[in-house]
A and B are shown apart, each in its own frame.
Chain A
Amino acid sequence: MDWLYMYMPIAGVNILWPGLVLIGFSVGVIGGFFGMGGAWMVTPGLNILGFPMAFAIGTDMAHIAGKSMVSTMRHSKFGNVDYKLGFIMVLGTFIGIEIGAQMVMYLERLGRIDAVVRYVYVLFLALIAFMVFYDYAKAVRKKKAGAVDGERGTEGLTWYKAFHRINIPPMVHFKTAGFTCSAWLPAGVSFLTGVLAGFLGIGGGLFRMPALVYLIGCPTHIAVGTDLFEVMISGLYGAFTYSLKGRIELVAVFVMLTGAAIGAQIGTVATKYARGYGIRVAFGIAVICCMISIILKQFGFSNSSAALILITIALMCVYISVIMFKGAAAELREKKAAKQASHPLS
Chain B
Amino acid sequence: MRSLLKRVLCFIAGIGLCLPHLAWASGEVATNLVVVADTRRVTGFLKYIANTYNTDPWLFAVWAVVITAVWGGILGFVMDFIMERSGLDLKSRKIIEH
Q: Do A and B bind each other?
A: yes
Closest Cβ neighbor of B61 among chain A residues: A243
Give min CB distance, B5 to chain A, whole Å.
10
B96: which A residues are within 8 A, CB to CB?
153, 275-276
Contacts of B61 in A (CB 8 A): 239-241, 243-244
Pairwise interchain contact B38-A112, C-beta atoms closer than 8 A: no
Partner of B50, one of A9, A115, A219, A253: A9
Q: Chain B residues with Cβ under 8 A from A77's Cβ? A: 80, 90-91
A20 within 8 A of B: no
Q: Contact: B26 with A261, CB < 8 Å?
A: no
Q: Are A69 and B98 within 8 A (Cβ)?
A: no
Chain B: interface residue count, which band?
A: 35 or more
* Contact of A9 with B58 in the complex, beta carbons under 8 Å: no
Total A-B contacts with CB atoms under 8 angstroms apart: 193
Decide: B72 and A257 in contact? CB cutoff 8 A: yes
How many A residues are at the interface, by size bracket? 35 or more
B-contact 0/1 string along A1-32, CB 8 Å cutoff: 00000010111100000000000000000000
Interface of A is mostly: helix
Which residues of B are found within 8 Å of A10, using beta-carbon distances?
35, 37-38, 50, 53
Encode B67-78 as 1/0 by CB contact (under 8 A) with A. Answer: 111011101111
**In the complex, how many angstroms separate the beta carbon of A131 from the nearest chain B beta carbon?**
12
Known A-B contacts A62-B64, A154-B97, A258-B75; A54 and B35 likewise in contact (beta carbons under 8 Å):
yes
Q: How far is the CA of A196 from the CA of B20 in the complex (A)?
A: 16
Q: Which residues of A contact B (CB under 8 A)?
A: 7, 9-12, 54, 62-63, 65-70, 73-74, 77-80, 103, 106-116, 119-120, 123, 139, 143, 152-155, 162, 192, 219-222, 232, 236, 239-241, 243-246, 248, 250-251, 253-254, 257-258, 261-262, 264-265, 269, 271-272, 275-277, 328, 331-332, 335
Residues of chain B touching chain A, judged by Cβ–Cβ distance below 8 Å, are: 1, 12, 15, 19-20, 22-30, 33, 35, 37-39, 41-42, 46, 49-50, 53, 57-58, 60-65, 67-69, 71-73, 75-80, 83, 86-93, 95-98
Instruction: Provide 11 A-B residue pairs closer than 8 Å at the C-beta atoms, listed in order of the A residue.
Output: A9-B38, A66-B68, A78-B91, A111-B26, A119-B22, A139-B97, A139-B98, A154-B97, A221-B95, A245-B57, A269-B88
